[in-house]
Structure formats: structure tokens, C-alpha cells
Amino acid sequence: MVGKLLVRGMLAGLVAGLVMFGFAKVVGEPQVDRAIAFEQQADAAKGEAPEPEIVSRHTQAGAGLLTGAIVYGTAVGGLFSLVFAFANGRAGKIPARELSVWLAAAAFVALVLVPALKYPANPPSVGDPETIGYRTALYFLMIAISISAMVFSIRIRGARVAQWGAWNASVLSAGVFVVIIAAVMAGLPAIDEVPKTFPAALLWNFRVASLGMQLIEGRPHLHDSGRNRGYRPGVGDDRRGLWQENVGRCRQISDRLCPARRWTIAI
């Protein structure tokens, strides 16, 4: 069953990658072209020659973008399916469709939204090339901290849900996550390398397009995972365990209908 989930997740990710490519081509690439034009104009004003293209812009916006979107989408789809297969049946009595929604939302917040709030995506001509390694390390550090904070908050919810109820435990969990992330964001160094003359609207549109691509990537997995409502690890994969569970239910029903009757089934 896990294998089928993995294949479905990768296929859903493939479809999402194609849709993401179309979105990036229509919405994102025009912002990249404008940013490159701004960089060329700035270099010309300084009297500097433009840097030679190692890969042509046509290839980058065509085959390169398509390949990257498909590979990324397929990988994310497979990883999401594995996480869903692990969580389904272990996250209480949450139905599969609702579980896939919560998993996708948590992944988007921890992996995309929180890091983007601290270190948002920048178009070409924004950022010092000499600090790219430093900026990349900080971005991945923010992702690691965000994931750890998300897991910690979910564990707090699980520890308090029986005593406080689902709603109060969820509010507490969300509050803990927000406090941790706010403290981390305040402690990590800020990076502001945007040129003063760079168009604010162009920067905003580029960052919105970047977030939109991530949202598109997560949407198909919700429908695909929601179709596997009957899957329970350790039960659906184990026929003997499923048989024993059904026998136990039959015994309970029989005892309620006829308390004087006691019977057993040899397994």
C-alpha cells in the first residue's frame, strides 16, 4: 500500500510540476526578465560590461525551468506521500482527506511561509554574490528551526488534547509555534541587500509569484492522499490483524445483544 501511495504521490507531483511550470512561465518569468533588464541598465550606467551567459536565457526559461519544475514536483510528491503514509493511522482518528490537508498546511507553513518571511526570495540583480553562501546557510537554518518548532508544537498539542480539548490544545500549540518563530526571527541576523533604486512593485510581484508556485505544488497532493481513506498502517497491510479486529467487534456486539451467550472463535 505504501508503494501505491508513493507512485500516486509522485504522479500528482509530476502534474503539479507541469502546472507550476505554466504558472512560472506566465507569472514568474516576466518578473525575472524585468529584473535582468534592471541589472543590465545598472551595469551600463557604471560602464561595466555584462556578464557572459553560461546558459542562455531561452534555455533557462524553457527546458531548464520545465526540468526543474518536474523534478522538484515529483520529489515533493513522493516525500509527501511517505509522510502521509507514516502519519495516517498514527495521528488519531483524523480521516485521510482532513489529514492530508493538515499535513500540507503544516508543511507549507514550516517549509515555505516561515522561511520566506525572514529570508524572502529575491530576483536577479538583488543580493551580493559574495554573500550567497552565507544567505543560503541562514535560509536552511531557518527551515530546520521551523520544522523543529512545528514538530514540538504538534507534540504539545498531543500531550494536552485529552485534558484541554482539541480546540484549546490547538490554540496552545499554535501559540507556542508563533512564540518560538518570533524569538528565532528576532535573534537571527537580518539581510537587506536590495538596491535602493530597485522597483518595489517588481520585488513584490516576484516574491508573490515564488509563493504562488509553492502553493500550486501542494494542491494536487491533497486530492490524491484523500482518496486513500481506508489505509491504516499495520492494519490494512496485515490481514490477520484486520481479522482479529473484526472478530473483537463481533464479540462486543454479540455480548450486548445476548449477555448470557459467550462464544469464541479460534483463529
Q: Taking the model in full, what pTM does it have?
A: 0.75
DSSP assigned state of 125: T
Q: Which amino acid is at 61?
A: A
CB atoms within 10 A of CB 191: 17
For residues 30-44, average pLDDT: 88
For residues 5-24, average pLDDT: 92
- pLDDT tens digits, residue range 77-115? 999 999 998 888 777 778 888 888 889 999 999 999 999
For residues 135-158, average pLDDT: 95
User: Apex CA 72: angle with CA 71 and CA 75, to 5°?
Assistant: 85
CB atoms within 10 A of CB 194: 15
Between 263 and 126, name the one with better pLDDT.
Answer: 126
* Cα dihedral 70, 98, 102, 216 sign: positive
DSSP per residue, 58-124: HHIIIIIHHHHHHHHHHHHHHHHHHHHHHHTTTSTT--HHHHHHHHHHHHHIIIIIHHHHHS----T
Distance CA 211, CA 215 (A): 6
Give the largest Cα separation in the chain, rounded. 98
